[in-house]
């Protein structure tokens, strides 16, 4: 299996990070003494960002430094024009000294922006930082302010660890915002079984995320299947690969279907995987076949498939193509996942998108299915939970869009992990495939048949579960729960899994607990969850999600991130510092959605 080279498969150049060296504009001695130091500060930041970050598609992040230091409005305009031509989507101003606050600031209302003020005693970088922060807040242009804890010597190019952390957190979140802008959410189908998240709210996507919504009926898949609007050569190659690498699992149905019928279903789901991908990003091969319109795709960075029940009562379910597209590999090799939300749950899909843009990894889509108390586990299995699972567990399981990466067969530094596709070895991808079987769908649920990915996350891994919900009168709110995916004792695992559906991918989640709120115990986390689905990312990314949510003006209503890690625009302090959660709501309401006032 080959590892594909990074590629930008969406329309539009990748956003760049603009670096603005800001300087004291007074000539005849002051400015001249600071030119080299200020520009070196910008170059040092560019080296950090370009060496530490990649886009989620694996391509390198590029920085653009203003041609000259910015000492006033004319040079600010020069920088803005250069950034416009270069495709800058994120702005970071740097300075070691006092500068003219509102005269030098970045005035673009939708560009994520931050200021790093050097902590030195020779020149008052902190004074400019505070003055510029006040100007941004007064003008309604929230800015992140970054100031090192320890005093440094003027001229040093070293970036302290605490400053590095904030610069990288802001930059990655800012790139996520800029990457989404102008792309599409592709809604294939409509509302699935009355699930609120599949009631696609177009103003939310447009005003908060900068995404447009494209809607395609599921009959488009039927048309492309029947009229063979797909690459038949790729299908033959894909089908052979699937039959070799996707072994059929145990059939739990009482009334089993014939081998011939199952083979027909396999052909259908493989073709649908190709068709769904083509709907998202297009396929030049279709143009050569005479299907120029279909070849264009919908420039979709994210999609959702309704499936149930209008499709699955008659056709094979979407479990196979949802799982394969969300994974980091298929018959074309190791590549960036195609994000596809099962049941067209657009809000959970958004969480998958945010998680992918922040971590560069595949995401797990799951039902937040069951809270298992220690007492219930003991009663059912005769065994006790231990370790981080001792307070209880949340069972995450769903038939559809859990990436195969989630089985825990990739590793970093000897520990189970989910990795960006460019770090995944062919052996790791193959191990994920070998761990997964594809059981025939339970026909009581899926009358049209199909195949569900059957695997369990048999590894202990740090993880973050999160969910976007819409509240009438308030707008979107985000929930975040950091914790651990737990590899249970096999005797416990098997007995608990059989009580739900042994054909579906399953994960056992133990949230980190503490305090008196929703995280006082596992039951309270489950009870406070705002919807039936959740997205799961590898690692503890709650702080990154909080930063990104503040850029989008989406308040976080529930999280277990330590206060010291919370990083939001400086304007948020104007709405209170004793209760950061409430202040977040007030700030987001005050400033409004990022694109809602454009």
Which whole-number Å values give the CA distances from 481 to 39, 97, 392, in the listed order? 41, 40, 15
Q: Three-state SS string across 479-510, please?
A: EEEEEEECCCCHHHHHHHHHCCCCCCCEEEEE
Q: Is 367 a catalytic residue?
A: yes
CA-closest candidate to residue 451, choices 564, 278, 341, 322: 322
Only one residue has tokens 């809270």, namely 371
User: Could you give the CA distance from residue 398 to residue 402 in angstroms, rounded to a whole number?
Assistant: 7
Contact (CB, 8 A) for 339 and 352: yes
Beta pairing, strands 300-305 & 184-188: parallel
Which whole-number Å values give the CA distances from 534 to 369, 457, 459, 509, in the listed order? 10, 16, 19, 11
Q: What is the DSSP letter of 206?
A: I
Residue 464, strand partner residues? 482, 537
Beta-carbon contacts of 305 under 8 Å, excluding residues fewer than 6 positions away, are 188, 189, 218, 276, 311, 318, 321, 322, 340, 341, 342, 343, 344
Rounded (10°) CA dihedral 213, 322, 534, 219? 40
User: Could you give the CA distance from residue 67 to residue 71 in angstroms, rounded to a whole number?
Assistant: 12
Choice among 234, 367, 487, 497 that is catalytic: 367
Contact (CB, 8 A) for 401 and 306: no
The H or E element containing residue 589 is helix 580-591
Neighbours of 73 (CB within 10 A): 15
Which whole-number Å values give the CA distances from 488 to 178, 388, 389, 503, 545, in the listed order? 40, 11, 8, 18, 28
Question: What is the residue-wise DSSP string for 78-133?
Answer: HHHHHHHHHTEEEEEEEESS---HHHHS---SSS-EEEEE---SSS-HHHHHHHHH
Neighbours of 255 (CB within 10 A): 5
Neighbours of 188 (CB within 10 A): 27
User: Could you give the CA distance from residue 459 to residue 484 in angstroms, rounded to a whole number?
Assistant: 10
Contact (CB, 8 A) for 509 and 536: yes
Only one residue has tokens 């985000």, namely 478
| Radius of gyration of the CA atoms of the chain, in A | 25
The residues assigned a catalytic role are: 343, 367
């Amino acid at each position: 299996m080959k590892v594909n080279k990074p590629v930008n498969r969406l329309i539009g150049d990748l956003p760049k990070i603009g670096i603005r060296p800001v300087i004291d504009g007074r000539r005849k001695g002051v400015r001249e003494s600071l030119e080299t130091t200020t520009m070196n500060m910008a170059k040092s930041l560019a080296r950090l960002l370009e060496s530490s970050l990649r886009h989620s598609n694996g391509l390198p992040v590029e920085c653009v430094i203003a041609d000259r230091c910015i000492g006033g409005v004319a040079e600010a305009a020069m920088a803005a024009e250069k950034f416009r031509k270069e495709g800058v989507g994120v702005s970071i101003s740097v300075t070691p000294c006092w500068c003219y606050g509102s005269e030098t600031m970045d005035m673009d209302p939708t560009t994520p922006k931050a200021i790093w003020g050097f902590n030195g005693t020779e020149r008052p970088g902190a004074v400019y930082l505070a003055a510029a922060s006040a100007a941004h807040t007064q003008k309604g242009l929230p800015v992140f302010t970054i100031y090192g804890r320890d005093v440094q010597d003027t001229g040093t190019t070293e970036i302290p660890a605490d400053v590095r952390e904030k610069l990288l957190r802001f930059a990655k979140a800012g790139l996520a915002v800029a990457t989404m802008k102008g792309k599409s959410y592709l809604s294939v189908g409509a509302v699935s079984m009355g699930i609120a998240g599949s009631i696609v709210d177009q103003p939310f996507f447009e005003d908060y995320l900068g995404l447009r919504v494209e809607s395609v009926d599921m009959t488009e898949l039927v048309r492309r299947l029947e009229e063979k609007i797909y690459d038949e050569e790729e299908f033959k190659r894909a089908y052979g690969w699937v039959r070799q690498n996707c072994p059929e699992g145990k059939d739990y149905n009482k009334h089993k279907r014939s081998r011939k019928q199952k083979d027909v279903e396999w052909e259908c789901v493989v073709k649908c995987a190709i068709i769904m991908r083509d709907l998202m990003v297009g396929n030049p091969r279709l143009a050569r076949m005479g299907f120029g319109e279909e070849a264009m795709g919908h420039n979709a960075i994210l999609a959702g498939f309704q499936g149930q029940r209008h499709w699955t009562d008659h056709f094979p379910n979407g479990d196979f193509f949802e799982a394969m597209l969300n994974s980091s590999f298929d018959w074309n090799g190791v590549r960036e996942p195609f994000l596809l939300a099962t049941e067209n749950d657009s809000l959970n899909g958004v969480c998958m998108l945010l998680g992918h843009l922040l971590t560069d990894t595949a995401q797990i889509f799951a039902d937040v299915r069951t809270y298992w108390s220690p007492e219930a586990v003991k009663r059912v299995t005769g065994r006790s939970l231990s370790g981080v699972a001792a307070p209880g567990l949340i069972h995450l399981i769903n038939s559809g869009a859990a990436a195969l990466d989630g089985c825990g067969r990739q590793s970093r530094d000897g520990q189970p992990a989910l990795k960006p596709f460019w770090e995944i070895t062919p052996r790791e991808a193959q191990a994920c495939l070998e761990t997964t079987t594809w059981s025939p769908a339970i026909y009581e649920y899926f009358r049209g048949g199909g195949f569900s990915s059957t695997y369990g996350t048999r590894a202990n891994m740090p993880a973050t579960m999160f969910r976007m919900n819409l509240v009438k009168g308030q707008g979107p709110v985000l929930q975040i729960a950091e914790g651990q995916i737990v590899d249970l004792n096999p005797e416990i695992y098997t007995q608990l899994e059989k009580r739900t559906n042994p054909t579906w991918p399953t994960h056992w989640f133990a949230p980190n607990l503490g305090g008196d709120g929703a995280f006082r115990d596992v039951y309270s986390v489950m009870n406070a969850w705002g919807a039936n689905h959740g997205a799961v990312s590898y690692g503890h990314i709650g702080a990154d999600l909080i930063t990104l949510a503040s850029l989008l003006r989406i308040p976080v209503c529930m999280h277990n991130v330590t206060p010291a890690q919370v990083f939001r625009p400086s304007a948020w302090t104007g709405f209170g510092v004793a209760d950061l959660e409430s202040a977040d709501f007030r700030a987001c309401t005050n400033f409004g959605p990022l694109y809602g006032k454009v």
